[in-house]
Amino acid sequence: MSYTLPALPYNDNALDPVISSNTMSFHYGKHHQGYVNKYNKAIEGTPFADMPLEDAIKKTAADASQKGIFNNAAQIYNHTFYWHSMTPQGGGEPTGKIADLIKDTWGDYASFKTEFAQKAGTLFGSGWTWLVQDGSKLAITQTQNADTPITTSQKPLITLDVWEHAYYLDYQNKRPDYINAFLDKLINWEFANKNL
């Protein structure tokens, strides 16, 4: 059974001008599709071929001999989660239960935003910044490369892709501008609330 590239939750130009359709065509159409293609090739004829994606990620995370399967499976998952972490006319302060949990954890939204931007801006190299539920509290974590919180006890709520290909065509080397644009204009708090 082959895995199919999940559809975007909006048109590929819906995030313009914050994230351009040009970036989306490469990031979604080439990078994300590339992970799907490599994953399908890697699992062909193996027990992973009929396994749900999240199960394959969890089963291969600690097995160095399955690193190729893990990397591609986790990147499919992470990217799909990232697309849903954004929405046109998103951004700004949260509402609903996530707003209450942010207040409980950080005191106010401004403190959350400062820490999220700092973590996303200081992640060295390629990876992801996540808002996660960790027990009864929230936390902001960084993962390198394809690593993902679903291999831990943390529950992902939102993610930001800080690999250069996610922002370079639009922001060049100005990662902080991309991070702020995500927080101010795109972050999908409704998705976060659904994940709680």
pLDDT digits over 105-120, tens only?
Answer: 999 999 999 999 999 9
Identify the pLDDT of residue 84: 98
- Architecture of the CATH domain 97-195: 3-Layer(bab) Sandwich (3.55)
Q: Are domains 21-84 and 97-195 of this chain identical in fold?
A: no
**pLDDT value at 1 more than 90:** no
User: What percentage of the chain has pLDDT greater than the value 70?
Assistant: 99
Q: Cα torsion for 54, 145, 40, 60, to the nearest 10°? A: -50
Identify the pLDDT of residue 31: 95
How many whole angstroms separate alpha carbon 32 and alpha carbon 136? 33
Find the mean pLDDT for residues 132-145. Answer: 95
Task: Give domain limits for the chain.
Answer: 21-84, 97-195
**pLDDT value at 180 more than 90:** yes
Query: The pTM is what?
Result: 0.96
Mean pLDDT for all residues in the chain: 96
Identify the pLDDT of residue 125: 87
Fold of 21-84: Helix Hairpins (1.10.287)
